[in-house]
Amino acid sequence: MLPADTNLTMMNSANTLFPAGSKVPTMAVAMVLCSITSTAQAQNLVPNSGFEVADSCSEAGFGVDGPLHWHSANGTPDHLQGCLPYGSAFGLPMNFITFQYPFEGSSCAGMLTYHQNGSSEYREWIMAPLLEPLVVGQTYYCSFRANAAFGGNAQYPQIWLANDKVGMLFSMQDRPWVWGDPYPVPPDHAHVLYPQILADTVGWTLVSGSFVADSAYQYVMIGQFFSNALTDTLQFSPEGIPWYWLPRAYTLVDAVCVSASPDGCDLGQGVGEAQAAGPALFPNPAQDHLVVGQRAGAEAQVLDFVGRLLWQGRVTSDRWVLEVGSWARGTYVLRMAHRSRVETHKFVLAE
């Protein structure tokens, strides 16, 4: 939707290019109108999309002094900033959860996206108002970058899990959460999500997709919105080895985008392909061989449950077979770079 003063803006743009009294070519006016319309459609509707703007450089999380426009919708998410001392609880690149540089700028968000213990099924969600409400019936294109946290500078590492279904949920109402509020029940729904386990602890994974707005949504939330029963996880390390671990997953988030234009957000190789079904990976669990379908030309790696590289090579056909009969039984991660997109898939070797 164009603002009310669009006509005046169009007239001023045309007058700047063609002074009063001159004959304004029809094609030139059309080019100005097209340029303004295109810019409006490609606008990112998420304010402070990289969490860069804050009232102060402090370990305030998503509270009063946290990133401008953003607040907690569940729990106590963290605002991680490069301006803080190296190794501080909420600093970048080293903090109490992980070592990671932000995807862009000098800040990012961090939140617990899975907690195995307790009946509350604790999650942390962040929330911001959109710059304008979504239009019912309009297709919107969305993306953000996510990274699975692991390690950090704490005496005991905080987490040893990664989880699936990290995503984006839109709302008509604001849902601010403050300390002492009950934890909301997971809605088991997201408008855009990453369906696989987000297990890349080194790079930033692109989470992207599109949807048709069925309401005039005014707020966007980021997090994991599914109950434990509907969540799949992957262990980075066995419990108690080499020290005590906590059954939690923590995810970093950066570069949040919502746009009415497919050119407004980073969608990888395109929304159609990005939302296509993942490769056929069977049998899973496997015993002697694993078949990977529809990924010819992909550069592939296999990691064990603690992230050690066991194998790497190229997928040479759309029905490619990986021989795994001599490998130890357990859980593995297959990571593939295909058409400028990195995919991560879990598979299990059974007796």
Q: What is the pLDDT of residues 49-103, one digit of tens each?
A: 999 999 889 888 897 788 999 999 999 999 999 999 988 889 999 888 888 999 9
Q: CB–CB of 165/195 below 8 Å?
A: yes
- Residue with the larger pLDDT of the pair 70 and 8: 70
Q: How much is the pLDDT for 237?
A: 64
What are the structure tokens assigned to 75, written together?
């729990």
Q: Confirm if 286 and 264 have CB atoms less than 8 A apart.
A: no
Tokens of 315: 């997928």
Whether this model's pTM surpasses 0.85: no
Using one digit for the tens of pLDDT, what is the confidence trace for 130-164?
999 999 999 999 999 999 998 777 665 667 789 99
Which amino acid, residue 170?
A: F
Cβ neighbours for 282, distance < 8 A, ≥ 6 positions apart: 290, 291, 293
Q: Which residue segments constitute the domains of the chain, with CATH numbers given?
A: 6-41 (no CATH), 71-274 (2.60.120), 281-349 (2.60.40.10)
